[in-house]
Amino acid sequence: MQTMTGQPEAQVSLSAVEVQRIKADFEILEHQVNGTDVVYLDSGATSQKPRCVYEAEQHFYENANAAVHRGAHTLAVEATEIYEEARETVAKFIGARTNELVWTSNATEALNLISYSMSNASLGRGGEEAARFRIGPGDEILTTEIEHHANLIPWQELAFRTGATLRYVPVAEDGALRYDLLDELVTEKTKLVAFTHVSNVLGTITDTRRFVDAARKVGALTVLDGCQSVPHLPVDVKELDVDFMAFSGHKMLGPTGIGALYGREELLNAMPPFLTGGSMITVVDMEHAQFLPAPQRFEAGTQRIAQTHGLATAVSYLQEIGMDRIAQWEEHLGAMLYEGLSKIDGVRVFGPSDAPRIGTVPFEVLGVHPHDVGQYLDSRGIAVRVGHHCAQPLHRALGITATTRASTYLYNTEEDIKALIDALGTVREYFGV
Amino acid sequence: MNELDQLYQQVILDHSKRRIGSPLVEATAGHLHGESHQHNPICGDQIRVRVELNDEDHFESMSWEGEGCSISMASASVLSELLPELTKDEFLDKLEIFREMMRSKGNFEPDEEVLEDAAAFVGVSKFPARVKCAMLAWVAAEAAMLGANK
């Protein structure tokens, strides 16, 4: 079927009817909060889960539960198959090869994995093969002022442990990244450039090409924080051309407790491990151990098998709808949010007006603290996030300590946005401002 | 009164604007005084509280500066009004009652004779996420008192 513009239907954004159908897959969205239908606008913190995701976990426990990569019994074989199929599904989803996807407990652990692997390399672990991960005094790590603490503190700590220097790309007054300073900040000393794909506070999409080009020129490694992009946009790591990417399952309809690290195969296989123990070795004697190749090298101990199955089920759910269409719907909701909130008297929206964005918008209500704004909205069943959103440096750069943040996902309707805008019209009156 | 109105009672909204005790004032030379800086890491709210005591261990004054939601700011204002002339032990008794009220999940009949305007915070106890906001100034005042010296 063709639309009026001649585009195949698959290229068209979701329709209101489809969104209602999607919403019906999320039991929790049918619940009432404070006597009214819940309006969930906090998917940036964690997404809701469709029935199929937790049913998949239940199915695993009822039919295939066993430890993976060990034991010869039938259940162990089935569990291992489910675990490795999940890896294949999620790897394909981001354009990676299966062996390039390491399971972690969340994105934070994925980023710490790189940080600690690099300190281990700097101590000589991994030998000559790991030489390119060594870092020390005189070397530089570059990050940005908009990062979530998870993509900042692991690099601060790596710098403390190794004597390297941490530098950052600052933001302009409106929160836009100062790309113009990249050429100056990325030098021969730069060993690693860590940056986010989408700001978890501002919702703005980074021009990753500029970071990757600058890093490539000097041979620096690139680490992308994909927590806010993988759930909302079509993401292909080979197209992005980054060396590493971290993302979390619970923000993309998956269970909590599962995340992943993508890394180029040749890099992962040259890196010394972070967590060590069972399941990641080949030969062990009382003095030494030899390690398996990636991804097993980074998956010590009993793994999160049901969670990987849940996440793969979430990915299949997203793929069936289509990431292009989800992205278009959320772009629409994001524009509605940004424009709608900007028009309310006494509401100030943060973030550059001209940057591409997902459906995430931070704002303040003049004279009312974000905590109070959030409480007022909650009394009307509207769930938003308040606080610094794990990005204190960005808030400081914007001259504030906290904001209120609305963030959408594929199950949000235009009515949800209208409900928020409507409620915000009466907040100041309630607090007597 | 619905739950939101119980949380944001008029006396709380008024105190959040009046901010009795703010800004900080210098302690009188030679008087026992102490200071404490407390953070609420969840929302970034923070408060610096200074208390001054006379030679008979009575509170002379509390002053503060801070940034935060209406609950935390009102709580500091209310406490600044309540504290002068109390002994250390009287303050600790009221703190214990206030803390018990905050943990009550709404099942508490506050005695206004004892808590004065702080009794209005009973509605906060129904909102576990906001109890920390209400406690912030009290915790700071306690720490400032315990660390007080000349």
Average pLDDT, chain A: 95
For residue B21 the two structure tokens come to 């005790």
Q: Which of A151, A214, A205 is nearest to A180 (CA)?
A: A214
pLDDT at B56: 84
Q: Which of A222, A202, A173 is nearest to A360 (CA)?
A: A202
Cβ–Cβ contacts within 10 Å for residue A319, how many? 12
- Give residue A107's domain range: 55-319
CA distance A399 to A377: 24
pLDDT tens digits along A232-267: 999 999 999 999 999 999 999 999 999 999 999 999
Residue A172: inside a domain: yes
* Residue B4 touches partner A, C-beta closer than 8 Å: yes
pLDDT tens digits along A81-107: 999 999 999 999 999 999 999 999 999
Nearest by CB to residue A371, choosing from B2, B4, B69, is B69
CA dihedral A24→A26→A29→A32, nearest 10 degrees, is: 90
Considering the domain architecture, whether residues A372 and A394 belong to the same structural domain is answered as: yes
Nearest by CB to residue B70, choosing from A372, A386, A387, is A372
- The CATH number given to whatever domain includes residue A391 is 3.90.1150.10
Among candidate residues A319, A342, A375, the one where a domain is terminated: A319
Per the omega criterion (within 30 degrees of 0), is the bond before A295 cis?
yes
B44·A371 Cβ contact <8 A = no
Confidence of residue A134 (pLDDT cuts 50, 70, 90): very high
Residue B132: inside a domain: yes
Provide the chain B residues 67-96 that lie in CB contact (below 8 A) with chain A: 67-71
**A53 CB burial (10 A radius; 0-12, 13-18, 19+):** buried
Considering the domain architecture, whether residues A339 and A196 belong to the same structural domain is answered as: no
Nearest by CB to residue A387, choosing from B4, B8, B43, is B43
pLDDT at A362: 98
**A354 CB burial (10 A radius; 0-12, 13-18, 19+):** exposed
Beta strands A221-225 and A190-196, pairing class: parallel
Nearest by CB to residue B70, choosing from A369, A388, A401, is A369
Which residue is closest to A386 within chain B, CA to CA?
A: B43
pLDDT at A329: 96
**Which are the contacts of A315, defined by CB distance < 8 A and separation ≥ 6?**
A89, A90, A93, A252, A254
Cβ–Cβ contacts within 10 Å for residue B145, how many? 23
Structural domains counted in chain B = 1
Considering the domain architecture, whether residues A119 and A261 belong to the same structural domain is answered as: yes
**Which are the contacts of A412, defined by CB distance < 8 A and separation ≥ 6?**
A19, A40, A41, A43, A330, A333, A359
- Give residue B110's domain range: 3-19+30-146
CA distance A247 to A235: 11
A431·B133 Cβ contact <8 A = no
B2·A388 Cβ contact <8 A = no
- The CATH number given to whatever domain includes residue B103 is 3.90.1010.10
Residue with tokens 């119980």: B6
pLDDT greater than 60 at residue B43: yes
pLDDT at A116: 98
CA distance A246 to A161: 22
For residue B84 the two structure tokens come to 């002068």
Per the omega criterion (within 30 degrees of 0), is the bond before B23 cis?
yes
pLDDT at A160: 98
Residue A365: inside a domain: yes
Give the helix ranges, DSSP H, for chain B. 3-7, 10-18, 70-82, 88-102, 112-115, 128-146
Considering the domain architecture, whether residues A186 and A81 belong to the same structural domain is answered as: yes
Contact A401, A388 (CB under 8 A): yes
Give the active site residue among A12, A185, A390, A397: A390
B116, HSE (Cβ side, Cα atoms, 13 Å): 13
Considering the domain architecture, whether residues A369 and A309 belong to the same structural domain is answered as: no
Chain B residues with CB under 8 Å of A368 CB are: 70
Considering the domain architecture, whether residues A231 and A360 belong to the same structural domain is answered as: no
Cβ–Cβ contacts within 10 Å for residue A88, how many? 15
Residue A426's identity, in one-letter code, is T
Residue A93: inside a domain: yes
Residue B43: inside a domain: yes
Cβ–Cβ contacts within 10 Å for residue A2, how many? 8
- Farthest-apart Cα atoms in chain A, separation: 72
Question: How many percent of chain A have pLDDT more than 70?
Answer: 97
pLDDT at A286: 98
Smallest CA–CA separation between B108 and chain A, in Å? 22
DSSP state at residue B28: P
Residue A380's identity, in one-letter code, is R
Considering the domain architecture, whether residues A184 and A267 belong to the same structural domain is answered as: yes
Contact B125, B118 (CB under 8 A): no
Chain A residues with CB under 8 Å of B13 CB are: 431-432
Report the pLDDT averaged over residues A345-363: 95
Residue A76: inside a domain: yes
Considering the domain architecture, whether residues A102 and A157 belong to the same structural domain is answered as: yes
pLDDT greater than 70 at residue A1: no
pLDDT greater than 70 at residue B3: yes
Residue B25: inside a domain: no
pLDDT tens digits along B98-120: 999 999 999 999 999 999 999 99
**Which are the contacts of A70, defined by CB distance < 8 A and separation ≥ 6?**
A76, A279
pLDDT tens digits along A182-235: 999 999 999 999 999 999 999 999 999 999 999 999 999 999 999 999 999 999
Considering the domain architecture, whether residues A139 and A251 belong to the same structural domain is answered as: yes
pLDDT at A63: 95
pLDDT greater than 90 at residue A12: no
Residue B24: inside a domain: no
Q: Is A390 known to be catalytic?
A: yes
CA distance A319 to A316: 5
CA distance A9 to A102: 35
Residue A206: inside a domain: yes
For residue A145 the two structure tokens come to 């002022």
Among candidate residues A296, A319, A342, the one where a domain is terminated: A319
Confidence of residue A6 (pLDDT cuts 50, 70, 90): very low
Confidence of residue A273 (pLDDT cuts 50, 70, 90): very high
Confidence of residue A46 (pLDDT cuts 50, 70, 90): very high
Residue with tokens 């913190």: A45
**Which are the contacts of B70, defined by CB distance < 8 A and separation ≥ 6?**
A368, A369, A372, A431, B8, B12, B13, B16
Chain A residues with CB under 8 Å of B17 CB are: 432
Residue A4: inside a domain: no
* Residue B6 touches partner A, C-beta closer than 8 Å: no
Cβ–Cβ contacts within 10 Å for residue A188, how many? 11
Smallest CA–CA separation between B6 and chain A, in Å? 12
Considering the domain architecture, whether residues A44 and A67 belong to the same structural domain is answered as: no
pLDDT at A3: 38
CA distance A381 to A37: 6
pLDDT tens digits along A290-345: 999 999 999 999 999 999 999 999 999 999 999 999 999 999 999 999 999 999 99
CA distance A423 to B148: 46
Nearest by CB to residue B69, choosing from A372, A388, A430, is A372
CA distance A246 to A267: 15
pLDDT at A90: 98
Q: Which of B18, B137, B139 is nearest to B72 (CA)?
A: B137
DSSP state at residue B84: T
Question: How many percent of chain A have pLDDT more than 90?
Answer: 93
**A430 CB burial (10 A radius; 0-12, 13-18, 19+):** middle
Chain A residues touching chain B at CB-CB below 8 Å: 34, 368-372, 375-376, 379, 386-388, 392, 395, 401-402, 430-432
Confidence of residue A2 (pLDDT cuts 50, 70, 90): very low
Residue A403's identity, in one-letter code, is T
Contact A273, A291 (CB under 8 A): yes
pLDDT at A7: 45
Q: Which of A419, A403, A406 is nearest to A366 (CA)?
A: A403
B71·A371 Cβ contact <8 A = yes
Structural domains counted in chain A = 2
pLDDT tens digits along B46-73: 999 999 999 888 999 999 999 999 999 9
- The CATH number given to whatever domain includes residue A215 is 3.40.640.10
pLDDT at A11: 59
Asked which of A69-78, A123-132, A319-328, B125-134 is least confident by mean pLDDT, the reply is: A69-78
Considering the domain architecture, whether residues A134 and A281 belong to the same structural domain is answered as: yes
Considering the domain architecture, whether residues A103 and A172 belong to the same structural domain is answered as: yes
Among candidate residues A301, A319, A337, the one where a domain is terminated: A319
